[in-house]
A and B are shown apart, each in its own frame.
Chain A
Amino acid sequence: MARVEDKVVLISGGASGIGAETARLVLREGGKAVLADRDLAKGEAVARELGPSATFVALDVTQEADWQAAVAKTVATYGGLHGLLNAAGVGVRNTIEDCTLAEYRRVNDINSLGTFLGCKSAVAAIKNSVQGKTSGGSIVNISSVLGLRGSAQAMAYCASKGAVRSLTKYVALYCAEKKYNIRCNSVHPGYIDTPMIAPRLEQSWGNRTGREFLEDLHPLGRLGRAEEVANMILFLLSDESSFSTGSEFVCDGGLTA
């Protein structure tokens, strides 16, 4: 039997990177995926390529009404909702001295408020699809290694990913206490070769390219691939991880070891 047979998964940031790779994997393992993204052209193209088990919906993660519409469309299209992947995010470099309040708020809105609104908007629909069933619901929030460790050059990003790490545990305990049959975990990737870090790969760092610099940070000596993170996410979305909730799953080539 496929690993997420008949499970419907809503994916923010589904048009590219880790989100799109996860959608591909969910479909391969028998599920349905709703790709939600701000990038309409790319999102629609990926959904078309994946076929009838995938569909696209426009989503600005900072807008609660967008989230409600995305959840409603998911349930209308596939008849339920079982998994949520909060993969949309923005990677920004700034320090405590050069970051403005507006920029701090923008990064936290997308990464942290956006994740909260995803959990808030999806929880009732997931509960309705899974409560009392053997097979449960699962929410996966993408934090970062920078939700575990600080970085002088990514101050606002670290704060937002620290918020995701902490709120994930709240959601896990809340759903457990309410007996919703929904688990919630955070995933902490290292540097993954996705569009989010593409600009950094091109920059030079002394006599090295950005890619060489970032590869060298990881004990495994390379960047991660989106499908490697997607493999971890699929495990968390599936019932294989049925006893894991409120936990931190690191996928970082040894970076934080």
Chain B
Amino acid sequence: MPKFKSVDYYNFDSLLTEEEILIRETVREFTEENIVPIIEDHYMKGTFPMELVPQMAEMGMFGATLLAKYGCAEMNNVAYGLVMQELERGDSGVRSFASVQSSLVMYPIYTFGSEAQKDYWLPLLARGEKIGCFGLTEPDFGSNPGGMITKAEDLNDHYLLNGAKMWITNGTIADVAVVWAKLNGVVHGFLVEKGTKGYTVPEMKGKHSLRASVTSELIFEDCKIPKENIFPNTSGLKSPLMCLNQARYGIAWGAIGAAMGCYDTALNYALSRIQFGKPIAGFQITQEKLTHMLTEITKMQFLTLQLGRLKDKGVSRFQQVSMAKRNNVYHALEIGRIAREILGANGILNEYPIMRHTANLESVKTYEGTHEMHTLIVGEDITGMSAFE
């Protein structure tokens, strides 16, 4: 297949800085040379490509927006978004790994952690020497995390943790889990380390989506958590939601990458597939499909870039993040399906990335706030009336 080219119909690049472009090109090259050649194999086997982690760390992809003193790249949110875009053009599972490590593990340690927690964990996580996961969702509490039943008790010299988390990316391979549990009825964050007695992490099997990613349950049975492992600076459910807001922002960019991968594949296929004596790109129905895909990708780019610029100025609102995540994943999934139609039967083969991207996006549409919840978050923002509380 020809080398992936940037999708840029509206001179989008003219709005990026030289550094932002160089960062995107660097991660694009990394994806092309390191993810694309191996990902189908991992996906079919249902394994996460651990071999990528050291190089991703070396390049600085974990916690990339955090301070240089912790070994991080200290880049802006737009550059971080472009990294997510390029990784997800490879695979949503690889992007998910980086999202979780950065936005759901390093960000909360950075934001809510003690100095000792930051000094110990952040450099290790940035170097990829330790892997983290984030436990909020429970088997019976997904869209309604406030109902969580995982709880911690203060037993003077330690906390006692009991409960279970589900759908946890990186769970089984994680060295540390950021776990949210109720202490005296209020949500608090705890660092639970691998090897803690009573802490088990069975991997969830049988997925038809995000197969190149580890998804696990976290089970806590009378786990003794050292006192120093609680986050000192959290404020109820708002804290984990702040983390999700970071991750959702990265997902909005990531979805553009998956969509670009599908569009690029479909365009190349349409130009070379001959039916009735001419390339199918020359038929009106195919052109309508390609036009729709490119239009949606172009709209996503500008929506998300402006969100990133607002975020860099510190004035973005979480409802705006909801709109971008909701819109981009919805259309990326639609683009995946249309791309599959253009490829006909070939679209289902793993010779092309389309079916994998599309199946992945089914998860992405639901995780980190479902499409429906983001609809209601924006709906509440518009009308002042909550449809879910």
**A and B, one complex?**
no
Residues of A within 8 A of B (CB): none
